[in-house]
Structures are given as C-alpha cells and as structure tokens.
Amino acid sequence: MYAQAIVVASGRTAPPVPAELTDKQFWSLSKDLSEEDGFFRSDNLLSNETSFQYVIPELLKTAKQGRVYLGVGPEQNFTYIAALKPAMAFIIDIRHGNLDVHLMYKALFELSKDRAEFVSRLFSRKRPDGLTATSTAAEIFDAYLKAEGSKEIYEENLRAVEDVLIKKHGLPLTAGDLDGLRWALSNYYQFGPSINYGSSLSVNVPPTIVGATGGYGFGSNGVTYASLMTSDDGTGQYRSYLGSEENFAFIKDLEARNLVVPVVGDFSGNKAIRAVADYLKGVGGMVSAFYLSNVEQFLFQ
C-alpha cells in the first residue's frame, strides 16, 4: 500500500493501561475483539510504502508517548511503535493471515536477543560474523543479503516459533494458524531480505486462512524488506524498528508483556474497531495515533 494516513489524538494526559497481559488475557482479547476472517488481494507480508517514515518527525510533535497505538498491516507498525513508544498496541486487519504474521513476529522477538539474531531467524540464514549492537541497519542487511537461506535453519525456526506460542504461552492455535505461520516464515526464508510486496503470490498459492485472493493490485515498486529497513525519515534519521538496538528492545519488551494484540477486523465492519474502543474505555486507555495505511481508498471503492 503506497499511501498512509495517521490519525492523531488530542493532548490530554493518558490514563494507565495494563502493564502486562497474561497469556490467557492476550488470547481472549485477540479472539473476543475479532470479527470473522475476511479477504484482500495481497497476503501483505511486508509494506511497500517507501516513504512511511516521513510522517514520524511531525507526528512526534503532536502524538504523546505512553498511550495506545492502533494500526493495520505487517511490519511497518513496529517502526511507528518504536517511535511513539505506546504502552499498548492493537493491530487490526481484515485478514486472519495478518494475525498469524504478528504471532510469528511475537515469537521471533521473544526468541532473539538482538537485531542480528532476529534477522537471522526471520530469513532463516546463518548469522554473519562481525555484527554487533552498534551495527547499522544497512550493515546488518548488507551482510544478510549475501547469506544463503538454510532449510535446516528454517525448520528449526518454525519449530521454535510454534513452541513459543503453543508451549510457552499456551495459545490454542488451530491447524489454520499453523498453516499461516508456515506460509509467512517459509516465504521470508525463500526470498530472504530481498522479498517484496508481490514476491510470495508470484510463485506460491497461500492456504485459505491467509485470506489472499490474488489478482491485480498495488505492486512492489521495487521495494524490498531490506530497503524498507534501511530507509530514513526524510531528514536523515533512520527510524526503522531495526534501525537501532533501542528500537528493537522496545518492541521486544512490549511483545514479551503480551501488549501487541493482533485483531481480525474489517474497517467497515460493525465489531472490531468498536470492540477495541470499548475495551480501551473500560481500562482507561487513550489512543495516541491510528495508522490507517490507505484503507480508506478501499472503503470508497
């Protein structure tokens, strides 16, 4: 999705939200707030919004930290979360496949001690020598772009992701959820850091739970995962969630406390967004920003 819209809340003081959710609370919240699974033409394993960071400098002048973030789609949310530093986040998307992608990310964050290990696990590649906490995103991705994918590492990572979600957190994943996890991780493995918005559906057929119908739509525009992570905010600051260990650590901590909650919801539906609002009203949560991508274009069609 090329364009993006972010709605910013007012400047009042933010009441508290839960400091953490139990595993049962996390799963119940995700399920109770969700609508029936919907469909979109893309599996949207990554953004194609080349200028998605450009809004951040101005956003930080208005949106307050420590509140609640609402978003849609895959990994670009992590960059906004790292910038806004909310106390809690909800990611609402029409496809169940997006929920599974965020469960995969949750496990990978919890498994990885630093950015270099995270990228190793995401793309199923052996960690190159020489990467440290001070490595730039460009240095990390330059190294991984030269690394070969490993089926053995992929299979180990998939088992580890499933173990974190099922054994550690006790989440009652369905067979469809497991298909969704495999779909996402296998495509990151297959295409590596050069994966783009259209890579997966160009050669593979997704399982039903992913909710991707295929067909014509927004293309990749040559935007890869590596290029998204190494882009800047238009002022020379590199704000991607993998741009610094500080950014990565903030997301990792939020995920460990079960405070990034994926929800299945249609923006024109009658439940999910209202249900999230009702929940936040009940716990005294205040939204700092709502990232819409370009969903409104599809609502007008």
40 has pLDDT over 80: no
Angle among Cα 271, 274, 276 to the nearest 5 degrees reads 105
21 is in which domain, residue-wise?
5-300
The pLDDT tens digits for 173-192 are 999 999 999 999 999 999 99
- Per the prediction, the chain carries an average pLDDT of 91
Angle between helical axes of 151-163 and 96-111 (0-180°, round to 10): 100
Q: Which residue has the tokens 């999705």?
A: 1
The pLDDT tens digits for 152-163 are 999 999 999 999
Structure tokens belonging to residue 219: 């293309």
Number of domains, the chain: 1
